[in-house]
Amino acid sequence: MDTSTYKSEVAAAFNSAAASYDRLGVEFFTPMGRRLVERAAPGEGTRVLDVGCGRGACVFPAAERVGPTGRVVGIDVAEAMIEEAAKEAALRDAGTVELRVMDGEHPDFEPGSFDVVLGSYSVIFLPDAPAALARYAPLLSPGGRLAFTSPVFSEDTFPFLPPVFTELIPRELLLDLPPQWQPERLSQRFNSWLADPADLARTLEKAGFQDVSVVDESVQLVAESGTAWVDWSHTQGMRLLWNHLADDKRQQLRERLITSLDAMRDGDGPLTIDTPVRYVTATART
């Protein structure tokens, strides 16, 4: 993988989507981020780092928990995301929140700077996530905690999306994607260390962590309609897939998804999809 090209594509995609990211009436990242903070349980006065913070789904729940004597730093490679999160911090008068543009693969902080490191649907997408995680262990205080979320990867489901989408996205639509975005390559990259909890635990132990806990929970993804979900998908990681599709295939997939998702709704009610999420916590080895 050409990591510089990959990072440029990711930054460009999220810079373009920042204004509407997590703001199109679809509930998923916000409840997932809040739940991750609950599981990490930062205490009053603690120092928290949120990697790939986006618009603050973890930052602001963490700030509530650490209180006025704590500190929350959010970093993201996309400058526009940091700008949007900073606007939210100003609206909330969140004086303990600091936001920085930074490459999460190479965090620039002094050893022992934090008590908790968070990463909701973020750290796993770094080009070499296992190597990057090893750089976060020294940033934690003795006994400090790492907590992140991941999709629940398996061999028979489409990478990153709830299992229902495996049947909704025809593989032939994806043949024109660059090699690194082909489902088989994505599965190889992520399943090798994230699909099996034992592999995940070994990876984290090698990176300098211990007491690894892997818990899968369901998060309800709620959208007003199939159209709302498809529009929202252009503002998050799936935007990279949309950007690589030819115009005719993009339109074909859009129509197929809207029709199929609307068929799953209960009358005029919202679209609700139970989405399995993996919550991982670990402690820095002292």
CA angle 176, 179, 185 (to 5 degrees): 120
Amino acid at site 286: T
Q: What is the pLDDT of residue 95?
A: 94
DSSP 8-state code for residue 182: S
Where do the structural domains in the chain lie, given as residue ranges?
A: 3-284
SS3 283: strand
| Calpha distance 121→220 (Å, rounded) | 15
| Calpha distance 131→112 (Å, rounded) | 18
Query: Of all residues in the chain, what percent are helix, strand and coil, respectively (each to 5)?
Result: 45, 25, 35
Q: Please state, as a whole number, how many other Cβ atoms lie within 10 Å of the Cβ of residue 135.
A: 16
Q: Please state, as a whole number, how many other Cβ atoms lie within 10 Å of the Cβ of residue 140.
A: 26
Q: What is the pLDDT of residue 14?
A: 60
Q: What is the pLDDT of residue 191?
A: 86
Q: How many residues does the chain have?
A: 286
Q: What is the pLDDT of residue 11?
A: 57
Strands in 140-151's sheet, in edge-to-edge order, are 97-101, 71-76, 47-51, 114-120, 140-151, 271-284, 209-223
pLDDT in tens, the chain (286 residues): 557 666 676 656 565 655 555 655 788 999 999 999 999 999 999 999 999 999 999 999 999 999 999 999 999 999 999 999 999 999 999 999 999 999 999 999 999 999 999 999 999 989 899 999 999 999 999 999 999 999 998 877 776 788 888 888 887 777 767 777 777 777 788 888 999 999 999 999 999 999 999 999 999 999 999 999 999 988 877 877 788 888 988 999 999 999 999 999 999 999 999 999 999 999 999 7
Q: Where are the alpha helices (DSSP H) in the chain?
A: 3-17, 29-40, 59-66, 79-92, 129-136, 165-168, 183-194, 197-206, 226-233, 239-244, 247-263
Q: What is the pLDDT of residue 37?
A: 98
- The listed CATH number (1.10.260.40, 3.40.50.150, 1.10.3720.10, 2.60.120.260) that belongs to domain 3-284: 3.40.50.150
Q: What is the pLDDT of residue 9?
A: 64
Q: What is the pLDDT of residue 51?
A: 98
